[in-house]
Amino acid sequence: MTTVLTQGGNAPLTAARVTVEVTAPKALDVSGLLLTDAGKVRSDADFVFFNAPNGPGVSHRPASGGAADAITIDTRAVPAGITKIVVTASPDEAGTTFAGIEPTATVRDADTGAVLVTFTPPRLDRETALVVVEVYQRGGAWKVRAVGQGYANGLAGIATDFGVSVEDEPAPAAQAVQTPPPPAHAPATQAPPMPNTPPAAPPAPATAPSFTKVTLDKGRVNLVKGGSVSLEKNGKPFLSSVRMGLGWEPARGGRNVDLDASCIAFDAQRNKIETAWFMKLSIFNGAIAHSGDNLTGEGAGDDESITVHLDGLPPEAVGLVFVVNSFSGQKFTDVKNAYCRLLDAGSGQELVRFDLTSSEAHTGVVMCKLVRQFSGEWVMTAIGEYVDAKTARAMVKPASAML
């Protein structure tokens, strides 16, 4: 017999293994969080979702073949100290709210498929994420409760409430990346150069070599590792809005590779200010906007893109570092044809391209950086350095060191 719950209602679970499906007229991302009596996760590993599909006693099942995104809970395998599993949902399409697409949760016996409980929250409006139901332990028995609590700040808001670190914290001063010592000719007390300030030049030799500044005057620029290009044309800033496209493909004969692209913004002291990534798609009031997560890398064109409205950035944001990491731990040797390219966000015209010509057995790569000079111009530099880092958080320190 199926129990239909209303908001706040609860019912006993009559199966030890249950699957919670959440369906709606539009595609949803469904997640699960394992909580202690304090209502918090023990660590980020207790957050189960499409990029981290397996936790202790809890797993994520992606939508396929007509089946909805779902969380499966084996109450017998849930570790001691975990008393509640919260099931959440958010629209798969970035920026979409639940208005007019109210979801329905269906709790099934995971072994037989029999429907045990259903719940449809009351009409929603501006919510972009929702705690749908919770499976909890009370008096030695497991129950399910209909919650229907909405959040206007997306899945990141839910995760933060339950203790998941979706926002990278700046490193303490004692752990800050060490800057190189000042050149021998400089006073010992001179501050190290900032990322948007060229180091003090030594006295020029009798016949100083000449260097050509690469700009966009002659059209599209292909960069090699370490190469730079100014986003100027005819001596003036060429445009105010750009899009960084990042792409990759699975290596020949390999499985799909789920990589995540992020943009980390730094100040002049190389301290992280904000990060745009798949858990936080918009920062600086939309001045930097992420396109959303790509789970496979298949298909032509950019797999993920990040749009930057340069004129909308706060004055303290002088360095933007674009990184790609493998959340699931696959190495970049499983990837081919990785690249980044800068486009005019308005016309889609490709301005600058950097192709990685080799791969290394690491889980992260710092692709490139955009740095604002004192003159106000922005310069893009190709980096292409591999590191061992599976999350955007872990990319902050190496990215800072490469500014």
Q: What is the dihedral of CA 402, 196, 289, 286, to 10 degrees?
A: 150
| pLDDT reported for residue 257 | 66
Closest CA to 305 of 262, 250, 349, 357: 262
Pairing of strands 288-290, 282-283: antiparallel
Residue 239 one-letter amino acid: L
| pLDDT reported for residue 300 | 52
pLDDT tens by residue, 78-92: 999 999 999 999 888
Phi, psi of 218 (to 5 degrees): -100, 15
pLDDT tens by residue, 367-396: 999 998 866 789 898 898 999 988 888 999
Mean pLDDT of 189-195: 39
| pLDDT reported for residue 116 | 96
Residue 112 one-letter amino acid: T
pLDDT tens by residue, 104-141: 999 999 999 999 999 998 878 888 889 999 999 998 89
For the chain, domains (ranges, CATH) are 3-161 (2.60.60.30), 217-401 (2.60.60.30)
pLDDT tens by residue, 143-183: 999 988 888 777 877 887 788 875 444 433 333 333 333 33
The sign of the torsion formed by the CA atoms of 70, 9, 118, 94 equals negative
Residue 209 has pLDDT above 90, yes or no: no
Average of per-residue pLDDT values in the chain? 81
The greatest distance separating any two alpha carbons of the chain, rounded to the nearest whole angstrom, comes to 92
Mean pLDDT of 92-98: 80
Report if pTM > 0.75.
Answer: no
Pairing of strands 241-250, 304-309: antiparallel
> What percent of the chain lies above the pLDDT cut of 70?
83
Phi, psi of 136 (to 5 degrees): -140, 160
Please state, in angstroms and rounded to a whole number, the distance separating the CA atoms of residues 307 and 276: 10
CA distances from 374 to 197, 207, 227, 234 (A): 7, 27, 20, 19
- Give the bridge partners for 18, in sequence order: 73, 109
Mean pLDDT of 275-290: 92
Please state, in angstroms and rounded to a whole number, the distance separating the CA atoms of residues 386 and 366: 6
- Answer with the residue of higher pLDDT: 299 or 380: 380
Residue 186 has pLDDT above 90, yes or no: no
| pLDDT reported for residue 149 | 85
- With left for phi above 0 and alpha for psi between -120 and 50, is residue 161 left, alpha or beta? alpha
| pLDDT reported for residue 177 | 32
> What percent of the chain lies above the pLDDT cut of 90?
38
Mean pLDDT of 338-359: 87
Phi, psi of 392 (to 5 degrees): -60, -35
Q: Of the given ranges (19-28, 195-204, 374-383), which has the lowest mean pLDDT?
A: 195-204
